[in-house]
């Protein structure tokens, strides 16, 4: 039964933005259900199946009877394997007790934000940012301070910008590298310069979201948490959704100072308990095995990055960036603002353009404003070459009708 009675919801919900990535996914699902042939380039979700050895581990976990609650912070062997991985790949010196496994990296970020931020305290979010950072800060009743990277610096915030923005009110700085939505990578020297600013501000914590670590087209990944001067104040977030094509399994983690892990444990213990036991066993095998399947998927994403950039560069009005990682391209589409559609409607902004592509080209993307950059459009290339080519053809046709 649905009702129309007015419900007095809490202000924290009214003050929180909706996840626009999930919103666009919902819209295109609805159109698909009506029989419309939509090409989905909206959600950031690998189109690959989870590698077979990981699936086998889940089947084995069922046979082995992993039916029960795990410790809230995760299975001991998984936490140890994560600590080992962080030492091996990221030069992070955390023990198993410094790791908390959660229901996706999304929950890890929410746990940490709720653990650190008091109402009214400021969180600097590098923009363009992943949609949920802002929503999570709002949920924690913190003050988002959006700090925008410049297009000419591949939309990356610089240390100088951070130095200007940071203040005694700042409690947390959050960003992702490789970046969702731009695919940009922060280099070691850029991260060292940022770390210097953090070192000068002793009350500030960094949430380093490294969920796209393995989807890197340039080479070495560098973790800001390995920098000696600030390593106690860096919370490293990572997970299994992207590198292992495991979005639906819901396993992510945070690595941090023990007090922060204990705070997350307290929250998680009251809200969700440990994440799915079977998925944790699968994640354990994923992280303990060789990474060939991950590297193979990354090689495919790299080719697709070139493919989509080349195709969009041929469409007048698209000003593309060059993704160095993740699976998004983030073109500036402001050249289309002010144009008229064949129906005589005006494209005023990113959302209008995104909706025009959905309705006219049947290609679903996400408007850049959702990520704090309203001149752009986020296009996911976690899709087959055929879909990418067909989408580019349809987009070219649709924009050629704009006057």
With CB atoms as reference, the residue minimizing the distance to ligand GLU is: 44
The per-type count for the chain, helices as H runs and strands as E runs, is: 13, 12
Q: Pick from 239, 323, 325, 331: which binds ligand PMP (CB under 6 A)?
A: 239
Secondary structure (3-state) at 269? helix
Task: List the interface residues with ligand PMP, window 7-46 (CB under 6 A).
Answer: 44
- Rounded to the nearest 5 degrees, what angle is found at the Cα of 243, between the Cα atoms of 238 and 245? 115
- Rounded to the nearest 5 degrees, what angle is found at the Cα of 30, between the Cα atoms of 28 and 36? 70
Sole window of 72-80, 102-110, 358-366, 367-375 interacting with ligand PMP (rule: CB under 6 A):
102-110
Extended beta strands in 139-297, E state: 143-148, 170-176, 205-209, 234-239, 252-255
Q: Output the six-digit token pair for 34.
A: 């009506």
Sole window of 19-27, 33-41, 47-55, 186-194 interacting with ligand GLU (rule: CB under 6 A):
19-27
Measured distance CA(211)–CA(301) in Å, rounded:
15
Sole window of 57-65, 104-112, 199-207, 307-315 interacting with ligand PMP (rule: CB under 6 A):
104-112
Instruction: Give whole-number Cα distances, 78 to 26, 285, 373, 391, in Å.
Output: 33, 9, 37, 40
Measured distance CA(155)–CA(181) in Å, rounded:
10
Give the DSSP H/E element, type plus range, for residue 133. Answer: helix 131-139
Q: Pick from 51, 74, 104, 225: which binds ligand PMP (CB under 6 A)?
A: 104
Measured distance CA(211)–CA(247) in Å, rounded:
11
Sole window of 5-13, 39-47, 92-100, 152-160 interacting with ligand GLU (rule: CB under 6 A):
39-47
Number of residues this chain uses to bind ligand PMP (CB under 6 A): 13
Q: How far is the CB of 240 from ligand GLU (least distance, A)?
A: 13
Of the pair 109, 230, the CB lying nearest ligand PMP is at 109
Secondary structure (3-state) at 55? helix
Task: List the interface residues with ligand GLU, window 57-116 (CB under 6 A).
Answer: 106
Q: How far is the CB of 385 from ligand PMP (least distance, A)?
A: 22
**Per-residue x/- mask for ligand PMP, residues 124 to 153, rule CB under 6 A?**
------x-----------------------
Q: What does the radius of gyration of the chain's CA atoms come to, in whole angstroms?
A: 21
Of the pair 172, 326, the CB lying nearest ligand GLU is at 326
Q: Output the six-digit token pair for 151.
A: 């297009």
Report the 10 Å Cβ neighbour count for 132. 20
Q: Pick from 162, 211, 234, 256: which binds ligand PMP (CB under 6 A)?
A: 211
Which residue ranges make up the site for ligand PMP (CB under 6 A)? 44, 104-106, 130, 176, 180, 209, 211, 239, 241, 247, 252
* Sites of contact with ligand GLU (CB under 6 A): 19, 21-22, 43-45, 106, 130-132, 180
């Amino acid at each position: 039964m649905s009702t129309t009675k007015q419900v007095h919801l809490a202000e924290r919900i009214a003050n929180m933005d909706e996840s626009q990535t999930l919103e666009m996914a919902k819209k295109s699902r609805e159109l698909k259900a009506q029989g419309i042939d939509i090409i989905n380039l909206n959600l950031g979700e690998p189109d690959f199946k989870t590698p077979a050895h990981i699936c086998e581990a889940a089947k084995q976990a069922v046979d082995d009877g992993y039916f029960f609650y795990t410790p809230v912070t995760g299975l001991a062997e998984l936490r140890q394997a994560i600590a080992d991985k962080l030492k091996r790949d990221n030069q992070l010196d955390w023990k198993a007790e410094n790791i908390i496994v959660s229901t996706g990296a999304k929950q890890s970020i929410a746990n940490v934000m709720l653990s650190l931020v008091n109402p009214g305290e400021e969180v600097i979010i590098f923009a363009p940012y992943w949609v949920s950072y802002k929503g999570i800060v709002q949920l924690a009743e913190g003050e988002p301070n959006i700090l925008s990277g410049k297009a000419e610096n591949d939309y990356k915030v610089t240390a100088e910008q951070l130095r200007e923005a940071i203040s005694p009110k700042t409690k947390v700085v959050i960003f992702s590298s490789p970046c969702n939505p731009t695919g940009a990578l922060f280099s070691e020297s850029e991260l060292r310069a940022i770390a210097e600013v953090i070192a000068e501000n002793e009350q500030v914590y960094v949430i380093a979201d490294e969920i796209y670590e393995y989807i890197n087209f340039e080479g070495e990944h560098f973790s800001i948490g390995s920098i000696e001067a600030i390593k106690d104040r860096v919370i490293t977030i990572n997970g299994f959704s992207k590198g292992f094509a495991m979005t639906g399994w819901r396993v992510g983690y945070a690595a941090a100072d023990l007090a922060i892990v204990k705070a997350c444990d307290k929250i998680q213990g009251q809200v969700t308990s440990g994440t799915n036991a079977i998925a944790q066993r699968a994640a354990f095998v994923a992280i303990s095995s060789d990474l060939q399947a991950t590297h193979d998927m990354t090689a495919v994403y790299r080719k697709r990055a070139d493919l989509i950039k080349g195709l969009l560069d041929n469409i007048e009005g698209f000003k593309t960036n060059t993704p160095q990682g993740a699976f998004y391209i983030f073109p500036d589409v402001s050249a289309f603002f002010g144009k008229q559609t064949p129906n005589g409607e005006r494209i005023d902004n990113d959302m209008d353009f995104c909706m025009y592509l959905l309705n006219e080209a049947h290609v679903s993307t996400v408007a850049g404003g959702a990520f704090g950059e309203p001149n752009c459009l986020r296009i996911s290339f976690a899709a087959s070459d055929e879909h990418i080519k067909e989408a580019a053809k349809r987009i070219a046709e649709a924009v050629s009708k704009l006057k």
